[in-house]
Structure 1
Amino acid sequence: MPNKLNKTTVKLANITQLPKSAKKRAYRDACGMAHGLELLGDRWALFVVRELMLGPRRFGDLRADLPGISANVLTQRLSELETSGVVVRSKLPPPASVQVYGLTEWGYEAEPIVQELGRWATRSPAHDPTLPISGVSILLSFRTMIDRHRIGSLELTIGFRFGEDEYSASVDRSGIHVERCAAAGDIIFSGRPSALAAFVYGGASLDALADEGVLVLHGDSALAARFADLFVLPPKFDPVAIRP
């Protein structure tokens, strides 16, 4: 009997002693920022939160918009975020009847973190805006980068179609408001999120993007140009300017 107990004890010890890389990061610091990094600082965690900011999504949808993440890592991050109270699992009613992941009320409160980190990082000279971007990410960037002084009396509705994902947005004096629903509006963009970013932030021609088959506008091109003019990226930081 003692030998059997000893073998069982050793086996349990081996299971519970995870490799350092599998353990949650703990800074042992009372600062709220430290605990925030314990919650969202692991690789891909903040990306998952970002992708849920416009509503619940299926596991496969998350993987499709985060092509660099493996299924195992995504499963681990969702589990950790669920345990910490940031993410909640639910099941859509029939006929869909599929499991989705969404943010809790507290989870949605992380949007300013995503916004301000993005705003700050776009000032980096090393930031490459030509890299791939998800539909949720480009729409969140609009909520971040819109210049309310440029809106004036403009009231506009915009639809977005990115593959099977559709969104509608409205612009008024208070900013831009986006929801996941059938794309509808005064103008509708259909195509790749990266192409929409090239038009809004990079000044790419709508005609050229349409010729490439990456972005199609349905509606008045003048309204589309007015829409694009609402968004301004912050100036790049110039490290040379601070050298003595």
Structure 2
Amino acid sequence: MRSYDQFCPVARGLDKIGGRWAILIVRELLLGPKRYSDLEAGLPGVTPNILTERLRDLQEAGVVRRSKLPPPAVAVVYELTDLGEGLRPVVDALTRWGLQLLDVPQPQDSFRLNWLLGCLRASFRPELASAVRETYEYRVDGEVFHIRIADGDVDVRHGPAPDRACVISADLTSLLAVGGQLLALSDAQAQGVVTIEGDRCAAERSITILGPHLEATGGQHGIIGAVRARFQPQATRGIEESYEFRVDDLVFHAFVSDGSVRMELGPATEPAATLRTDLATLLGLGAGTVSFAQAIAADPGALTGDPGAGRRMAIAFGVAGAIIGFPAGATGF
């Protein structure tokens, strides 16, 4: 990679990780060591030549190293050095900042569950975990990862945990519902959409510690709070209109005014647009598995009112992927 030739820490840092794909390779390795094939699978769109070149650049910069897993794996993997691990808060900050830029998923956009795991670090609530030392294992749609809490610190890694306090198994939609407090953990268990092995109290703690921040939801949990948490102030500058939401039997509305929003129960007096949907579709929008276009195409009456206002509503409330508890998108919308 070419140098900026500037005696500046920002420029020096970008000399090392500013190349295309470099920071995304770091994103992948923050979840643990990976084989070349794992990196290739986790970075759709990268060519083998570019991936090889970027890995070489990162090794030369002292950010990444090659190592061998112990038997019985005996595989060559790439992992972060101590210098590379120092990028963790940088990636977390970029995650929080980048969420503000998410609006409507495009048809060409790829999606991987592990891309959202960084949101768990960014949404971590250390004030609720100062005396907690335990590990939670999650099994979601065939993928396994674990979260280790240790006296106010959090680490998220791929794979199972040998010393887990509990195992929570669910599909992504159900986990989003529980994480966003749209569905109580006990109800999710009773319905058979979430299973818990081990310490149930530990499972409850994991949801609380990684759950939605009240300041992000406007003091409201549940569906209204989750939608409120996705609000994008910069997308509503100069706009003043009401949007109505009908999710199953729940009716509420949002009034946006030049970057601010007020959420209330009940129908809007004169909604510019109304979205009718069910909880499963709402969560699919949040997970990025359902696009806004797909959601309204499935039911011609799902979006009524001004089509332009409907698009503004989708952008204002950031229809994009999110994972349990992320402050700017507790369940996404």
TM-score range, shorter chain: 0.5 to 0.7
Task: Give the equivalent residue in structure 1 for 2:73.
Answer: 96
Contact 2:120 2:156 in 1 (8 A): no
Aligned-residue Cα RMSD (Å) equals 3.8
Distance (Å, rounded) in 2 between the aligned partners of 1:161 and 1:66: 22
Task: Give the equivalent residue in structure 1 for 2:135.
Answer: 157
Contact 1:160 1:183 in 2 (8 A): no
**Match 2:124 to one of 146, 160, 185:** 146
What's the offset of the Cα at 1:58?
0.5
Contact 1:167 1:181 in 2 (8 A): yes
Question: Are 1:37 and 2:14 an aligned pair?
Answer: yes
Distance (Å, rounded) in 1 between the aligned partners of 2:68 and 2:207: 37
Contact 1:151 1:173 in 2 (8 A): yes
Question: Are 1:169 and 2:147 an aligned pair?
Answer: yes
**Match 1:75 to one of 29, 32, 52:** 52
Query: For each residue in 1:156-180, what CA deviation from the matched residue of structure 2 results, as whole angstroms up to 9, or x when unmatched?
Result: 5311346786444333541334455
Contact 1:138 1:197 in 2 (8 A): no
Distance (Å, rounded) in 1 between the aligned partners of 2:112 and 2:175: 8
Distance (Å, rounded) in 2 between the aligned partners of 1:113 and 1:33: 12
**Match 1:238 to one of 217, 233, 236:** 233
Contact 1:63 1:71 in 2 (8 A): yes
Query: For each residue in 1:48-88, what CA deviation from the matched residue of structure 2 results, as whole angstroms up to 9, or x when unmatched?
Result: 11111233211111122222323222212111111211111
Distance (Å, rounded) in 1 between the aligned partners of 2:182 and 2:112: 16
Larger C-alpha radius of gyration, 1 or 2? 1
Question: Are 1:112 and 2:81 an aligned pair?
Answer: no
Q: Tell me the secondary structure at the aligned position of residue 141 of structure 1.
A: helix
Contact 2:65 2:79 in 1 (8 A): yes
**Match 1:229 to one of 208, 211, 215:** 208
Kindly provide the amino acid, as one letter, of the partner of residue 158 in structure 1.
Answer: Y
Task: Give the equivalent residue in structure 1 for 2:5.
Answer: 28
Query: For each residue in 1:169-225, what CA deviation from the matched residue of structure 2 results, as whole angstroms up to 9, or x when unmatched?
Result: 333541334455533533323466x558734665565788999x9x85324777545
Distance (Å, rounded) in 1 between the aligned partners of 2:110 and 2:178: 15
Structure 1 gaps of 5+ residues are 1-23
Contact 2:168 2:196 in 1 (8 A): yes
Distance (Å, rounded) in 1 between the aligned partners of 2:56 and 2:182: 40
Query: CA, structure 1 residues 33+152, in 2 after alignment: closer, same or farther (shift >3 Å)?
Result: closer
Distance (Å, rounded) in 1 between the aligned partners of 2:174 and 2:82: 30
Give the TM-score, by structure 1 length: 0.68
Question: Are 1:218 and 2:218 an aligned pair?
Answer: no
Distance (Å, rounded) in 1 between the aligned partners of 2:104 and 2:147: 27
Task: Give the equivalent residue in structure 2 for 1:52.
Answer: 29
What's the offset of the Cα at 1:89?
1.1
Contact 2:22 2:54 in 1 (8 A): yes
Query: CA, structure 1 residues 88+105, in 2 after alignment: closer, same or farther (shift >3 Å)?
Result: same
Between Structure 1 and Structure 2, which shows a larger proportion of strand residues? 2
Distance (Å, rounded) in 2 between the aligned partners of 1:71 and 1:204: 42
Question: Are 1:132 and 2:111 an aligned pair?
Answer: yes
What's the offset of the Cα at 1:229?
3.1
Query: For each residue in 1:32-56, what CA deviation from the matched residue of structure 2 results, as whole angstroms up to 9, or x when unmatched?
Result: 1122222212221111111112332
Give the TM-score, by structure 2 length: 0.52
Distance (Å, rounded) in 1 between the aligned partners of 2:189 and 2:56: 40
Distance (Å, rounded) in 1 between the aligned partners of 2:89 and 2:174: 23
Q: Tell me the secondary structure at the aligned position of residue 229 of structure 1.
A: helix
Contact 1:166 1:183 in 2 (8 A): no
Distance (Å, rounded) in 2 between the aligned partners of 1:76 and 1:177: 29
Kindly provide the amino acid, as one letter, of the partner of residue 229 in structure 1.
Answer: T
What's the offset of the Cα at 1:237?
4.8
- How many residues are matched? 215
Contact 1:187 1:217 in 2 (8 A): no
Query: CA, structure 1 residues 60+161, in 2 after alignment: closer, same or farther (shift >3 Å)?
Result: farther
Contact 1:199 1:228 in 2 (8 A): no
